[in-house]
Amino acid sequence: MTVESSVYVRIPEAATRHIVELDARAKASLRRSAKLPPGDRTEVIRFEALHAAIDQLAVAAMANGEPHLESAHPTVDSSGRLNDSKSLVGPSVLLPGAEFPFELPDGVLRWLREGNLVVELRLPHAPGETMLGGEAGRGPPKPASRWRNATETPRDAVRERFEYLISQALDDSGNEEASILPSGVTNPVLTEALRRNAHAEAGVRRIDLPVRYRDGSRGLEFPLRALTLTRRVPEHWRQLRFTLMSIRHVDMDAIVDGAWLRNARVSQRRQAGHTDQVAFETSSRQLCSLDPNIPTVISMYQTGLQPAIVGFYRAVVYHLIKYPKSIVVVPYYFQGGMQFDRGTAWTTM
């Protein structure tokens, strides 16, 4: 079986300038990537293409007889993931004079002291035993338990199933697998169930549960049993009406003051956990921009995109924890045409 090794290649002077340029462009790409919404791969692809060019130059240097060194490999932890605490964030170009938060072979340090540029290639094909991870005999997780609903209609079944899974997760909150599973849950069921579980009876401990989507991605924890919620909607507060996402139903534009989230930013092909993050960060920012001294009733006309709903209401809960009685959110669920059902208000009044 093969193992990983780090191959350090001393770059000849003729190629140094080119690699330094590529390294600078790769780092710029990394910086731009940090500004993009989660899941946007534009700069990822650019960064990887630039680094592939650096790697190719290093291989060409090796082929031309430039000195190179090979060193040890990382191991895996019990979950099968590589336990590599020395991870180098960014390009694996070692510039002379730079400081490194990890150990390097003496030969590489000498090259760097001598003013040479070094490129590290982590290659997986050195002879040795592949570490498979895990633990022999541990076995896979058990198949899911069978479940039958006690209700008649599919809609009630979705609600019952979602509530059942949340209550199971709350009972088993110490388990790392315990989480909220919003994928496939309809808009009203998801919102109402989250509201019911965000409400805390007196003396009940708050539990923050992670959100796990069907694609395997995870969202930030959602605070449950975190607020004492009521149904009272003050009549004389400022009223703002939003659609949760723009463009989805343009007919509504006539009755709302604006769209809370931009569809182009939210409805992208990426992991649901990233979409949740975008919705949460945008919503948190926008809620904070409201003056807490001017209490506001937000009527949210929403259609169903689960990560957007979870992200938005997570932000609402955190906002209400920080600024109690500053906002009231009343959900309105799309029923087709211009029909909406009014949901239960999220308010601490």
Contacts of other proteins in 148-207 (CB under 8 A)? 148-149, 151, 154-155, 157-158, 161, 181, 183-184
Closest-CA residue to 26 (of 9, 45, 51): 51
Q: Are 292 and 322 in contact (CB under 8 A)?
A: no
If 0-12 CB within 10 Å is exposed, 13-18 middle and 19+ buried, where does residue 10 land? buried
Q: Are 310 and 304 in contact (CB under 8 A)?
A: no
Q: Which of 123, 200, 220, 233 binds other proteins (CB under 8 A)?
A: 123
Which residues, 6+ apart, have CB-to-CB distance to 250 below 8 Å? none
Q: Which of 97, 139, 203, 337 binds other proteins (CB under 8 A)?
A: 139
Which residues, 6+ apart, have CB-to-CB distance to 178 below 8 Å? 168, 169, 170, 172, 209, 210
Q: Which of 18, 24, 42, 80 binds other proteins (CB under 8 A)?
A: 80
Structure tokens at 13: 């002077």
Residues 203-232 that bind other proteins (CB under 8 A): 213-217
Give min distance, CB of 277 to other proteins, in A: 14
In this chain, which stretch among 141-149, 222-230, 248-256, 324-332 interacts with other proteins, using CB under 8 A? 141-149
Instruction: State residue 75 phi and psi, 5-degree precision.
Output: -115, 175
Residues 237-256 that bind other proteins (CB under 8 A): none
Which residue, 161 or 195, is less far from other proteins as judged by CB? 161
Give min distance, CB of 82 to other proteins, in A: 6
Residue with tokens 């590290």: 120
Give min distance, CB of 225 to other proteins, in A: 25
Give min distance, CB of 295 to other proteins, in A: 37
Residue 120 interacting with other proteins (CB under 8 A): yes
Q: Please state, in angstroms and rounded to a whole number, the distance separating the CA atoms of residues 195 and 126.
A: 54
The mark string for 82-101 relative to other proteins (x by CB under 8 A, - otherwise) is x-x--xxxxxx---------
Residues 265-304 that bind other proteins (CB under 8 A): 269-272
Q: Please state, in angstroms and rounded to a whole number, the distance separating the CA atoms of residues 229 and 27.
A: 47
Give min distance, CB of 331 to other proteins, in A: 21
Structure tokens at 291: 């003056």
Residues 4-63 that bind other proteins (CB under 8 A): 4, 6-7, 30, 33, 41, 44-45, 47-49, 51-52, 55-56, 58-60, 62-63
